């Protein structure tokens, strides 16, 4: 599944979770037991945080993440140091 589709699904799940959390807060008697109320609230909060993380992690297609750039630069430097210690010239 493409990353963009996953991000859209996470956004939709987060928005639905926010709405459902408000409904549960307004009508706690609709939940059968206090334990199911607490479990439902915890699950919805987890879905909201998951959606926020997915939106934060989403990046435009074709863009390389900063982490990838840093790893590439670090590997280049480490390879240069290793070659220099072996006596090879760059």
| Mean pLDDT for back-to-back runs of 10 residues, the chain (90 residues) | 73 84 87 86 85 70 68 85 70
Q: What is the pLDDT of residue 72?
A: 83
Nearest 5°: the CA angle 34, 37, 40 is 150
The answer on 89 and 73 residing in a single domain is yes
Domain housing 34? 3-58
Closest to 45 measured CA to CA, from 74, 76, 75, 22: 22
The answer on 45 and 8 residing in a single domain is yes
The answer on 17 and 52 residing in a single domain is yes
Q: What is the pLDDT of residue 21?
A: 86
Q: What is the pLDDT of residue 73?
A: 85
User: With a threshold of 0.75, does the pTM exceed it?
Assistant: no
The answer on 47 and 20 residing in a single domain is yes
């Amino acid at each position: 599944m493409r990353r963009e589709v996953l991000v859209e699904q996470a956004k939709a799940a987060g928005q639905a979770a926010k709405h459902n959390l408000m409904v549960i807060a307004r009508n706690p008697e609709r939940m059968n037991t206090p334990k199911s109320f607490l479990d439902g609230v915890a699950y919805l909060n987890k879905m909201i945080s998951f959606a926020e993380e997915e939106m934060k992690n989403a990046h435009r297609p074709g863009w390389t993440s900063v982490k990838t750039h840093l790893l590439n630069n670090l590997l280049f430097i480490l390879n240069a140091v290793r070659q220099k210690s072996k006596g090879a010239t760059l």
